[in-house]
Amino acid sequence: MKKICLVVGTRPEIIKMAPLIRVFEKNDINYFVLHTGQHYNYEMDKKFFEELELTRPKYNIEAGNLEYRKQIGKMVKNIQEIYAKERVTHVIVEGDTNSVLAGALAANKFGICLIHLEAGLRSHDLTMPEERNRILTDHISDIFFVPTQDAYDNLVDENVDKEKIYLTGNTIVDAVYQNIKLAQKTSNILKEFNLEKNDYILITAHRPENVDNINRFSKILEGFDAVSKLDNHDLIYPIHPRSLINLKKFEIERPKKVRFIDPVGYLDFLNLIENSKLIITDSGGVQEEACTMGVPCVTIRDNTERPETIRCGANVLAGVDPEKIRLYSQKMMSNKKSWENPFGNGKSAEKILSIINKL
Ligand code: UD1
Ligand code: UDP
């Protein structure tokens, strides 16, 4: 009999794994959740379990805020012990974080069937920790659930056996569809921050290549300042802990019209996306959500592993040049806002379960 372990560690993994947990619960699947504790603040972790009504993880390894080698080492050692104790037959990891790599390495040791969700994404930029984690994980995985044809093609180009790749869409679309109505009903975030529908811009920035680098972080903030002057828009920035630490450390001046707030829960964030005029981000998940919810997006990176969002007209790459950020924001706000969602129809989790059942 199968015994499945779902490994999560960070905010986006909890959100993207939630639809799968729901269908596992509904279908009485023999599974448990293992949390690496990579994210640990209430608003980066527990808040999502509460809002999405997920049972608490059976294990938490508490491997957050550690230097890379120590973090991976602690995670792999502890995860291996749990796999062995629980006699796990299948492991599912989602995405490209350190938790994903550790969950995969630990499974590799025991010859457990390793399933990679959101496999095959490539930015072709090996300086990104996420790109290295994705490639390493893909190359020791047994089963690949890919969100798009691009991801499928990337794996085939790297000689992965086609028989093991399944095109399922991205569970983030399931998560949006399952929670948007509840968000509309319950979230008061617009009122709380005195924001008008379609009259503010939502920002997130947390990638190490952007916020660990004083030069790039300063340019990004200059870009936000320039955008705020376009139409006198409010900019709202729920700031990731990594970015807040660096903002303080670098003592960069904060643009006047940008409102820095604590990270918000998923329902508030969905509400913020849905009613925003534009999104400026370096997040992977937020590029997908913007595309899914019909909100134009400017990505403050030099590349993206989600090229489908650019091709369909939902997204544009601006890098960190302030003038480019301003121009592209202006252009995207005046563009038409309809495109076909490349990430699927919101039924990915069901599709994934039916394939797992046949393994
Ligand atoms: C990680 C992922 C990144 C993902 C992001 C989602 C890796 C290599 N990176 O980046 O791909 O986009 O999560 O948000 O796995 N911190 C806190 N409290 C928390 C979480 C983090 O204070 O709950 C602070 C700590 O100082 C920590 C730093 O943020 O050292 C960075 O956290 P970490 O998990 O290492 O990386 P992220 O930048 O969150
Ligand atoms: N998110 C959230 N609150 C916030 C910012 C983001 O709930 O204040 C959610 C967002 O809806 C998305 C996910 O977090 O689903 C994206 O996570 P993040 O940007 O941290 O990571 P990435 O997707 O870049 O790996």
The answer to whether residues 241 and 319 belong to one domain is yes
The answer on 201 and 132 residing in a single domain is no
- Kindly give the number of the ligand 1 atom that is closest to the alpha carbon of 206: 38
* Amino acid of residue 157: D
CB-based contacts of 50, cutoff 8 Å, min separation 6: none
Pairing of strands 90-94, 59-60: unpaired
* Count: domains in the chain: 2
User: How far, CA to CA in Å, does 324 sit from each of 258, 297, 302, 319?
Assistant: 18, 14, 12, 8
Q: Which residues pair with 287 in a beta bridge?
A: none
Burial of 182 (0-12, 13-18, 19+ CB in 10 A): middle
Distance of CA 38 from the midpoint of ligand 1 (Å): 7
Residue 154 lies in a domain: yes
In a domain, 339, yes or no: no
Instruction: Say if 197 falls within a structural domain.
Output: yes
Lowest mean pLDDT among 108-112, 118-122, 286-290: 108-112
Report, in angstroms and rounded to the nearest whole number, the Rg of the chain calculated over CA atoms.
20
Q: Are residues 11 and 115 in the same domain?
A: yes
Confidence of residue 349 (pLDDT cuts 50, 70, 90): very high
- Predicted TM-score (pTM) of the model is 0.98
Provide the CATH number for the domain around residue 114.
3.40.50.2000
- What's the CA gap between 347 and 19, in Å, rounded? 9
206 is a catalytic site residue: yes
Which is the closest atom of ligand 1 to the Cα of 96?
11
124 φ/ψ angles, rounded to the nearest 5 degrees? 60, 30
Whether residues 195 and 110 fall in one domain: no
| Residue 288 sits in the same domain as residue 159 | no
53 and 93 fall within a common domain: yes
183 and 70, same domain (yes or no): no
The residue from 116, 206, 233, 240 that is catalytic is 206
Task: Decide if 52 is inside a domain.
Answer: yes
Whether 23 and 158 share a structural domain = yes
Together in a domain, 118 and 227: no
Q: What is the residue range of 258's domain?
A: 178-334
pLDDT, tens digit, 9 for 90 and up, residues 113-147: 999 999 999 999 999 999 999 999 999 999 999 99
Looking at the structure, tell me whether residues 164 and 72 fall in a common domain: yes
